[in-house]
């Protein structure tokens, strides 16, 4: 027999505080998400989230606020609720998306899917990315560099605001500066200049061997260092010192840099940043498979997971 329940109105029973956020500690991820989504949502974007509701007798029950729903959805991504399948638009989906392609998998074999390109900053922040149907990475290097530059410009603008606030500048610098603690706080170290150097744009774009080509090394854009062999082979090469030979080509200069202590140190930092971003999206958010179909939607879902990843980083530092 079906039961009839009375509607729950906790507010009138005073079980909940008037402002539910009173229960949420300062700096909690929930606050970070609410703040971010509210700042992102323009009137126009809100309007595009839902079609206008029908008027008159056709109007159904009141709908949930789309911005609130988006906030919940983003928080679910941030907390990796996706991986438990607790949030899913539909119980079943077609695994064969006509836009997807057979992609070679590292270690052998193929999977049906997309090639997802992304760029991570030195602090693992996702600078941008997109899904594509290309089975290799080399032809994506220049597009990815553009995406990375666009993202880096947004990040630079946010950090430029820190420069005007001494406390903020100190906190931000101390979090990112890779110098040993003692040198970091030494009077001779110019924290403002260091912060500017770390955050004002892309220093060097570091890419794995999949992106290696003469064209990619010679293309305009930020300085780049591209592996020309497997990581373990790079480590076995004869170390080099100082500048490359004067008549060296772009490919030779790059190979030389990879052998210098500076080049090695730079390349070593790539793996934790990029793989940190990937494991965050795949393992923590639980996005191993797109729930939306089509290339454009795959990019949207990928970037949504990237945004959740960035908010997760932000929540951890705020």
Task: List contacts with Zn ion (CB under 5 A).
Answer: 159, 162, 172, 177, 194
Residues 6+ apart with CB under 8 A from 159: 172, 195, 199, 200
Smallest distance from Zn ion to CB 117, Å: 26
**Shortest CA distance to 269 belongs to which of 219, 218, 231?**
231
Distance (Å, whole) CA 292 – CA 198: 37
Distance (Å, whole) CA 55 – CA 106: 54
Smallest distance from Zn ion to CB 266, Å: 17
Smallest distance from Zn ion to CB 122, Å: 12
Distance (Å, whole) CA 238 – CA 261: 11
Q: Is there a contact between 41 and 67 (Cβ–Cβ < 8 Å)?
A: yes
Instruction: Give the nearer residue to Zn ion in terms of CB position, either 159 or 284.
Output: 159
Smallest distance from Zn ion to CB 270, Å: 21
Instruction: Give the nearer residue to Zn ion in terms of CB position, either 57 or 180.
Output: 180
Instruction: Give the nearer residue to Zn ion in terms of CB position, either 131 or 202.
Output: 202
Nearest 5°: the CA angle 168, 171, 177 is 125
CB atoms < 10 A from the CB of 289, how many?
12
Instruction: Give the nearer residue to Zn ion in terms of CB position, either 144 or 198.
Output: 198
Residues 6+ apart with CB under 8 A from 188: none
Instruction: Give the nearer residue to Zn ion in terms of CB position, either 162 or 312.
Output: 162
Smallest distance from Zn ion to CB 70, Å: 27
């Amino acid at each position: 027999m079906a039961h009839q329940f009375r509607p729950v109105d906790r507010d009138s029973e005073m079980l909940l505080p008037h402002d539910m956020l009173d229960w949420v500690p300062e700096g909690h991820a929930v606050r970070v998400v609410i703040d971010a989504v509210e700042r992102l949502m323009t009137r126009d974007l809100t309007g595009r989230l839902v079609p206008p509701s029908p008027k008159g007798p056709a109007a159904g029950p009141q709908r949930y606020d789309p911005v609130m729903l988006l906030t919940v959805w983003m928080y679910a991504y941030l907390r990796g609720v996706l991986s438990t399948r607790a949030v899913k638009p539909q119980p079943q989906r077609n695994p064969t998306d006509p836009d997807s392609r057979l992609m070679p998998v590292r270690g052998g074999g193929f999977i049906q899917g997309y090639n997802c390109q992304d760029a991570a900053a030195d602090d693992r922040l996702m600078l941008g990315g997109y899904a594509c149907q290309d089975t290799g990475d080399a032809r994506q290097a220049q597009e990815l560099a553009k995406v990375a530059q666009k993202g880096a410009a947004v990040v630079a603008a946010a950090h430029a605001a820190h420069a005007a606030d001494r406390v903020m500048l100190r906190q931000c610098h101390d979090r990112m500066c890779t110098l040993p603690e003692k040198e970091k706080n030494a009077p001779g170290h110019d924290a403002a200049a260091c912060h500017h150097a770390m955050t004002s744009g892309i220093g060097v774009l570091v890419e794995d061997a999949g992106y290696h080509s003469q064209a990619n090394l010679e293309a305009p854009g930020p300085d780049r260092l591209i592996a020309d062999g497997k990581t373990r082979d790079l480590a076995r090469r004869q170390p080099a010192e100082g500048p490359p030979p004067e008549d060296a080509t772009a490919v030779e200069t790059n190979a030389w840099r990879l052998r210098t202590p500076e080049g090695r140190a730079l390349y070593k930092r790539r793996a934790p940043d990029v793989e940190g971003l990937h494991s965050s999206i795949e393992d923590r958010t639980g996005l191993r498979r797109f729930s939306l179909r089509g290339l454009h939607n795959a990019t949207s879902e990928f970037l949504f997971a990237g945004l959740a990843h960035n908010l997760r980083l932000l929540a951890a530092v705020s």
